[in-house]
Amino acid sequence: MLVVMKAHASQEQVRAVCERIESLGYRAHPIPGAQRTAIGITGNKGAMEPGTLDEMSGVQEVIQVSKPYKLVSRDAKEEDTVVRFAGSDGSFGDRDLGIVAGPCSIESREQAFAVAERVARGGARFFRGGAYKPRTSPYAFQGLGEEGLKIMAEIRDRFGLKIITEALDDESLVLVAEYADVIQIGARNMQNFSLLKRAGRAKKPVLLKRGMSATLDELLMAAEYILSEGNYNVMLCERGVRTFSDFSRNTLDLAVVPAVKKRSHLPILVDPSHGTGKRHKVLPLSRAAVAVGADGLLVEVHHEPEKALSDGIQSILPEEFAELSAEIRQIAAVVHRQVN
């Protein structure tokens, strides 16, 4: 259920409605908009009687949200959510595209610095790299753990790049939330509901990747878990889904971008690296992602991909990243966006 306040409702009126909702055992989520404030009601006690709020002062209407997700939906908030970062021009969800680049894994200080220096020069505002890696084989490189996080924190200081890295479980989430600027929840954890709730209680923005067989509703419901715990700074990420297509690692579902835009106010990024699994496909799919309306890109870059400990075959070279960055600036302009 959603309470829509009148355009000129006062702060006190909004507060009184929130207090009434909480006193009935639900959680109130005031969502200020350009025209009016809406208040989302969540909780798992069953439906609430609309009559209890209808008559309160400042309330315009109480609407039943028919979709299974509430807080992530455009019904709750018409305007796009913009995720910004103190001390950076990088953002997601506004006119500016957010460009995230870096290696699949943080392998060593030298490797991470070599890539970071080049992607910063190539125009990225965000640096990605896994310190905790979800690997298909338990014998594959699992990441450097906290040491990797420390390397990324140094990279932020040196190059001014904001840091995005994956949390695999509760333990790594605590550390990732401490060191990084954005907590990534990977495709394999998209429906790890306890982890989503934890991320919802963290004080950092969350990048939620679509599960490899997740429907759009499932992706939005996963995001709803995070918002329902009070963290509204959530970005979605399309990273390809499993299909019968046999020429790429995954099938990048670019049609999901306008579908998300229609249903949700959350920014959506596209990851053409995991989405295709092949270096030569990253540039063409990046162009397409920007053209279709993505709010940002997440791209794997490695200066020596043949030596990479993970995902070398889909990692582009720093000079290819520079070319990608220059090209998407031109495409961005066509769709009334820009790359800062």
Footprint on this chain of Mn ion (rule: CB under 5 A): 104, 311
Q: Does 53 bind ligand PEP (CB under 6 A)?
A: no
CA 307/CA 315 separation, integer angstroms: 11
With contacts defined by CB under 6 A, name the span among 23-31, 152-160, 183-191, 220-228 that binds ligand PEP: 183-191
Min dist CB 267 to ligand PEP, Å, is 17
User: Are residues 104 and 132 in contact, defined by beta-carbon separation less than 8 angstroms?
Assistant: no
Amino acid (1-letter code) at residue 190: M
Using CB under 6 A, pick the residue from 29, 70, 156, 209 that binds ligand PEP.
Answer: 209
CA 239/CA 280 separation, integer angstroms: 16
Compare residues 140 and 333 and give the one whose CB is closer to Mn ion.
140
Q: Does 134 bind ligand PEP (CB under 6 A)?
A: yes
By CB under 6 A, the count of residues binding ligand PEP is: 9
Largest CA distance in the chain: 66
Q: Does 274 bind ligand PEP (CB under 6 A)?
A: yes
Residue nearest to Mn ion (CB): 104
Residue nearest to ligand PEP (CB): 186
Q: Cα–chain-centroid distance for residue 120?
A: 20
CA 92/CA 71 separation, integer angstroms: 18
Structure token digits, residue 254: 């670019």
Compare residues 20 and 188 and give the one whose CB is closer to ligand PEP.
188
Compare residues 104 and 185 and give the one whose CB is closer to Mn ion.
104
CA 155/CA 201 separation, integer angstroms: 26
Please tell me what DSSP assigns to residue 24.
T
CA 324/CA 193 separation, integer angstroms: 35
Q: Does 104 bind ligand PEP (CB under 6 A)?
A: yes
CA 237/CA 267 separation, integer angstroms: 8
Min dist CB 142 to Mn ion, Å, is 13
CA 152/CA 131 separation, integer angstroms: 9
224 binds, among Mn ion, ligand PEP, none (CB under 5 to 8 A by kind): none
Q: Does 130 bind ligand PEP (CB under 6 A)?
A: yes
Q: Does 249 bind ligand PEP (CB under 6 A)?
A: no
Three-state DSSP class for residue 334: helix
With contacts defined by CB under 6 A, name the span among 184-192, 262-270, 286-294, 321-329 that binds ligand PEP: 184-192
Min dist CB 210 to ligand PEP, Å, is 8
Q: Does 296 bind ligand PEP (CB under 6 A)?
A: no
| Contacts for 55 with CB less than 8 Å, ≥ 6 apart | none
Binding site for ligand PEP (CB under 6 A): 104, 130, 134, 186-188, 209, 239, 274
